[in-house]
Protein backbone atom coordinates (compact mmCIF):
# COMPACT_ATOMS: atom_id res chain seq x y z
CA UNK A 1 0.00 0.00 0.00
CA UNK A 2 1.40 3.43 -0.87
CA UNK A 3 0.58 6.87 0.48
CA UNK A 4 0.77 10.18 -1.32
CA UNK A 5 4.29 10.73 0.05
CA UNK A 6 5.64 7.51 -1.53
CA UNK A 7 5.55 5.51 1.71
CA UNK A 8 4.79 1.81 1.60
CA UNK A 9 2.44 0.08 4.01
CA UNK A 10 2.04 -3.68 4.43
CA UNK A 11 -1.04 -4.89 2.67
CA UNK A 12 -3.29 -7.89 2.91
CA UNK A 13 -4.06 -8.43 -0.75
CA UNK A 14 -5.79 -5.07 -0.98
CA UNK A 15 -5.52 -2.43 -3.62
CA UNK A 16 -5.14 1.24 -2.98
CA UNK A 17 -5.85 4.03 -5.40
CA UNK A 18 -4.30 7.46 -5.11
CA UNK A 19 -6.62 10.21 -6.23
CA UNK A 20 -5.21 13.31 -7.92
CA UNK A 21 -5.72 15.37 -4.71
CA UNK A 22 -3.31 13.05 -2.84
CA UNK A 23 -6.10 11.30 -0.94
CA UNK A 24 -5.98 7.62 -0.22
CA UNK A 25 -8.75 5.39 -1.49
CA UNK A 26 -9.00 1.84 -0.18
CA UNK A 27 -10.60 -0.72 -2.48
CA UNK A 28 -11.19 -4.32 -1.65
CA UNK A 29 -11.05 -3.84 2.13
CA UNK A 30 -13.73 -4.01 4.70
CA UNK A 31 -15.42 -0.79 5.77
CA UNK A 32 -14.05 -1.21 9.30
CA UNK A 33 -10.45 -1.52 8.03
CA UNK A 34 -10.90 1.50 5.79
CA UNK A 35 -12.28 3.56 8.68
CA UNK A 36 -9.41 2.52 10.96
CA UNK A 37 -6.85 3.43 8.27
CA UNK A 38 -8.49 6.81 7.74
CA UNK A 39 -8.47 7.51 11.49
CA UNK A 40 -4.81 6.56 11.64
CA UNK A 41 -3.78 8.86 8.79
CA UNK A 42 -5.86 11.72 10.13
CA UNK A 43 -4.21 11.35 13.55
CA UNK A 44 -0.76 10.85 12.01
CA UNK A 45 -0.87 14.01 9.92
CA UNK A 46 1.35 16.74 11.25
CA UNK A 47 -0.93 19.67 11.83
CA UNK A 48 0.61 22.64 13.64
CA UNK A 49 -0.34 22.84 17.32
CA UNK A 50 -2.97 25.30 18.47
CA UNK A 51 -0.37 27.33 20.32
CA UNK A 52 1.62 27.95 17.17
CA UNK A 53 -1.48 29.12 15.33
CA UNK A 54 -2.35 31.81 17.87
CA UNK A 55 -1.94 35.31 16.58
CA UNK A 56 -0.30 37.81 18.90
CA UNK A 57 -2.09 41.07 19.44
CA UNK A 58 -0.18 44.34 19.38
CA UNK A 59 1.84 44.97 22.46
CA UNK A 60 1.56 41.42 23.72
CA UNK A 61 4.71 39.48 24.24
CA UNK A 62 5.51 35.91 25.15
CA UNK A 63 8.55 36.97 27.12
CA UNK A 64 8.53 37.35 30.85
CA UNK A 65 8.90 40.90 32.20
CA UNK A 66 12.46 42.00 32.80
CA UNK A 67 13.47 42.72 36.38
CA UNK A 68 13.97 46.39 37.02
CA UNK A 69 16.88 47.69 39.11
CA UNK A 70 16.08 48.12 42.78
CA UNK A 71 15.64 51.57 44.28
CA UNK A 72 18.66 51.12 46.48
CA UNK A 73 20.85 51.05 43.38
CA UNK A 74 19.54 54.44 42.16
CA UNK A 75 21.14 56.59 44.84
CA UNK A 76 23.78 57.99 42.52
CA UNK A 77 21.29 58.83 39.81
CA UNK A 78 20.64 62.53 39.27
CA UNK A 79 17.08 63.84 39.58
CA UNK A 80 15.81 61.47 42.30
CA UNK A 81 17.86 61.90 45.46
CA UNK A 82 14.89 63.26 47.42
CA UNK A 83 12.71 60.22 46.88
CA UNK A 84 15.43 57.78 47.83
CA UNK A 85 16.19 59.79 50.98
CA UNK A 86 12.50 59.84 51.89
CA UNK A 87 12.13 56.10 51.34
CA UNK A 88 15.32 55.40 53.31
CA UNK A 89 14.02 57.53 56.21
CA UNK A 90 10.65 55.80 56.03
CA UNK A 91 12.32 52.40 56.15
CA UNK A 92 14.44 53.44 59.15
CA UNK A 93 11.37 54.73 60.98
CA UNK A 94 9.45 51.50 60.30
CA UNK A 95 12.39 49.41 61.47
CA UNK A 96 12.75 51.42 64.69
CA UNK A 97 9.00 51.13 65.40
CA UNK A 98 9.17 47.40 64.77
CA UNK A 99 12.15 47.09 67.10
CA UNK A 100 10.28 49.00 69.84
CA UNK A 101 7.29 46.71 69.40
CA UNK A 102 9.43 43.57 69.78
CA UNK A 103 11.23 45.01 72.81
CA UNK A 104 7.87 45.73 74.45
CA UNK A 105 6.75 42.16 73.73
CA UNK A 106 9.98 40.78 75.23
CA UNK A 107 9.54 42.96 78.34
CA UNK A 108 5.94 41.80 78.76
CA UNK A 109 7.03 38.17 78.35
CA UNK A 110 9.67 38.57 81.07
CA UNK A 111 7.09 40.15 83.41
CA UNK A 112 4.71 37.24 82.84
CA UNK A 113 7.46 34.68 83.49
CA UNK A 114 8.48 36.51 86.66
CA UNK A 115 4.87 36.49 87.89
CA UNK A 116 4.57 32.76 87.17
CA UNK A 117 7.78 32.07 89.11
CA UNK A 118 6.48 34.11 92.06
CA UNK A 119 3.14 32.25 92.05
CA UNK A 120 4.96 28.91 91.90
CA UNK A 121 7.15 29.82 94.88
CA UNK A 122 4.08 30.91 96.90
CA UNK A 123 2.24 27.67 96.06
CA UNK A 124 5.23 25.55 97.07
CA UNK A 125 5.64 27.43 100.37
CA UNK A 126 1.92 26.97 101.17
CA UNK A 127 2.17 23.28 100.41
CA UNK A 128 5.17 22.93 102.72
CA UNK A 129 3.29 24.68 105.55
CA UNK A 130 0.24 22.42 105.18
CA UNK A 131 2.20 19.21 104.61
CA UNK A 132 2.34 18.11 108.30
CA UNK A 133 -1.43 18.53 108.64
CA UNK A 134 -2.43 16.63 105.53
CA UNK A 135 -3.81 13.14 106.03
CA UNK A 136 -1.34 10.60 104.86
CA UNK A 137 -2.36 8.55 101.92
CA UNK A 138 -3.01 4.94 102.73
CA UNK A 139 -0.79 2.52 100.95
CA UNK A 140 -2.63 -0.60 100.05
CA UNK A 141 -0.48 -3.61 100.65
CA UNK A 142 -1.15 -6.47 98.37
CA UNK A 143 -0.34 -9.99 99.34
CA UNK A 144 2.08 -11.72 97.14
CA UNK A 145 0.84 -15.05 96.01
CA UNK A 146 3.72 -17.28 95.18
CA UNK A 147 3.08 -20.36 93.18
CA UNK A 148 4.48 -23.74 94.08
CA UNK A 149 6.95 -23.71 91.21
CA UNK A 150 8.28 -20.29 92.28
CA UNK A 151 8.75 -21.56 95.85
CA UNK A 152 10.68 -24.53 94.56
CA UNK A 153 12.85 -22.30 92.40
CA UNK A 154 13.62 -20.04 95.34
CA UNK A 155 14.54 -23.02 97.53
CA UNK A 156 16.86 -24.35 94.83
CA UNK A 157 18.59 -20.98 94.56
CA UNK A 158 19.06 -20.83 98.34
CA UNK A 159 20.47 -24.35 98.30
CA UNK A 160 23.05 -23.33 95.71
CA UNK A 161 24.35 -20.44 97.86
- Cα(140)–Cα(143) distance, integer angstroms: 10
C-beta of residue 22 within 8 angstroms of C-beta of residue 5? no
C-beta of residue 14 within 8 angstroms of C-beta of residue 26? yes
CA distances (Å), 128 to each of 8, 132, 136, 138, in order? 103, 8, 14, 20
Report the number of distinct structural domains present in the chain: 1
Q: Which DSSP state fits 138?
A: P
Is residue 120 included in any domain, yes or no?
yes
Is residue 121 included in any domain, yes or no?
yes
pLDDT for 158:
86
Is residue 122 included in any domain, yes or no?
yes
Is residue 59 included in any domain, yes or no?
no
Range of the domain at 119: 101-132
Q: Which DSSP state fits 73?
A: G
Is residue 106 included in any domain, yes or no?
yes
Is residue 48 included in any domain, yes or no?
no
Q: Which residues contact 26 (CB under 8 A, 6 or more apart)?
A: 14, 16, 33, 34, 37
Share the mean pLDDT of the chain.
Answer: 75
Model confidence over 20-34: pLDDT tens digits?
Answer: 555 666 677 888 888
Model confidence over 41-82: pLDDT tens digits?
Answer: 777 766 666 766 666 555 556 666 677 776 655 555 555 566
Is residue 95 included in any domain, yes or no?
no
Is residue 44 included in any domain, yes or no?
no
What global pTM score does this model have? 0.32
Percent of the chain with pLDDT over 70: 58
Residue 132 three-state SS: helix
Residue 18 three-state SS: strand
Amino acid sequence: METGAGRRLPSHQESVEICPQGLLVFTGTSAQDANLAKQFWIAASMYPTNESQLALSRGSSQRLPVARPSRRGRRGRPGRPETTDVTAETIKIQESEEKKKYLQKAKKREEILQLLRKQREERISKELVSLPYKPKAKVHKTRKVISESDKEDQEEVKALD
